[in-house]
């Protein structure tokens, strides 16, 4: 699995991901009991990509195709299959169709984000593509006033972050529930730096929590962060190949 998050603010878009590649397998004991193993094979896996210097792509879910990391297949798609000057909407459809051509169809989710030229000017477009379900959903639809929605979307191992952000109730000895203080995060007030900080916080908190919980360690490694603005795109942090 993985954890990817995309935040969309008025200033720009932030996309971030972890780097762990996990191999899942089952082992059967002599007594016939099955054990599910989730072995961390690598912490150098790429899950966020920049296409054509303007469109961000992040991936979660199935991490390998034909026994090879999915990152290489995304690089090939960007280099050989993606149109030269695609809009974000076109890129989302081309990406979905490309990965649906595999047999079996991979159970993978993508975030695709960037700016698209329309009759209203450059508009933020953020999509979630579920390949196996053959669906594309826009995460930042336009509001009644014509403005796009500002907020955040994440996929993969999102249960830890969800528990932190959703309302929580406690139960007393009489069986009555009492709501604990709950403060919604005002994503619409985020600056671009706030979005970067939250993306890192969300992934780092998931990594640190998974470390101490008796569950598969499916999120880990360095955190890659990509920023996309109307006029430029740049990496805030990205793994580099090094000699050790």
Kindly tell me the burial class for residue 197, based on how many C-beta atoms sit within 10 Å of its own C-beta (0-12, 13-18, 19 or more): middle
User: For residue 145, what pLDDT is reported?
Assistant: 80
Domain 3-28+36-157+192-237 CATH assignment equals 3.50.50.60 = no
User: For residue 65, what pLDDT is reported?
Assistant: 92
User: For residue 25, what pLDDT is reported?
Assistant: 58
3-state secondary structure of 199: helix
Dihedrals φ, ψ of 80, to 5°? -115, -20
Digit-coded pLDDT (tens) for 80-98: 999 999 999 999 999 999 9
Token couple for 236: 């805030």
What is the pTM for the complete model shown?
0.92
Token couple for 11: 């200033």
Low-confidence ranges of the chain (pLDDT < 50): none
Overall residue count recorded for the chain in this entry: 244
User: For residue 86, what pLDDT is reported?
Assistant: 95
Per-domain residue ranges for the chain?
A: 3-28+36-157+192-237
User: For residue 34, what pLDDT is reported?
Assistant: 60
Burial of 8-24, coded b for 16+ CB within 10 Å and e otherwise, reads bbebbbbbbbbbbbbee
Peptide bond into 153 cis (omega under 30): no
User: For residue 223, what pLDDT is reported?
Assistant: 98
């Amino acid at each position: 699995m993985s954890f990817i998050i995309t935040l969309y603010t008025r200033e720009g878009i932030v996309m971030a991901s972890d780097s762990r590649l996990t191999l899942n397998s089952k082992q059967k004991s002599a007594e016939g009991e099955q054990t599910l193993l989730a072995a961390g094979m690598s912490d150098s896996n790429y899950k966020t990509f920049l296409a054509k210097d303007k469109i961000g792509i992040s991936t979660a879910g199935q991490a390998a195709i034909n026994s090879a990391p999915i990152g290489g297949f995304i690089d090939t798609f960007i280099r050989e299959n993606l149109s030269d000057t695609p809009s974000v909407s076109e890129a989302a459809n081309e990406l979905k169709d490309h990965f649906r051509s595999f047999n079996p169809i991979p159970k993978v989710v993508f975030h695709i984000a960037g700016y698209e030229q329309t009759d209203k000017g450059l508009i933020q477009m953020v999509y979630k593509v579920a390949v196996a379900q053959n669906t594309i959903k826009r995460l930042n639809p336009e509001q009644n006033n014509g403005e796009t929605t500002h907020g955040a979307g994440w996929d993969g191992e999102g249960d830890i972050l969800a528990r932190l952000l959703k309302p929580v109730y406690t139960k007393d000895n009489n069986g009555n529930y009492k709501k604990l203080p709950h403060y919604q995060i005002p994503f619409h007030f985020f600056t671009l730096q706030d979005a970067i900080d939250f993306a890192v916080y969300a992934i780092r908190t998931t990594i640190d929590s998974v470390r101490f919980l008796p569950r598969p360690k499916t999120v880990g490694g360095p955190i890659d962060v990509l920023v996309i603005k109307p006029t430029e795109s740049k990496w805030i942090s990205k793994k580099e190949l090094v000699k050790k």
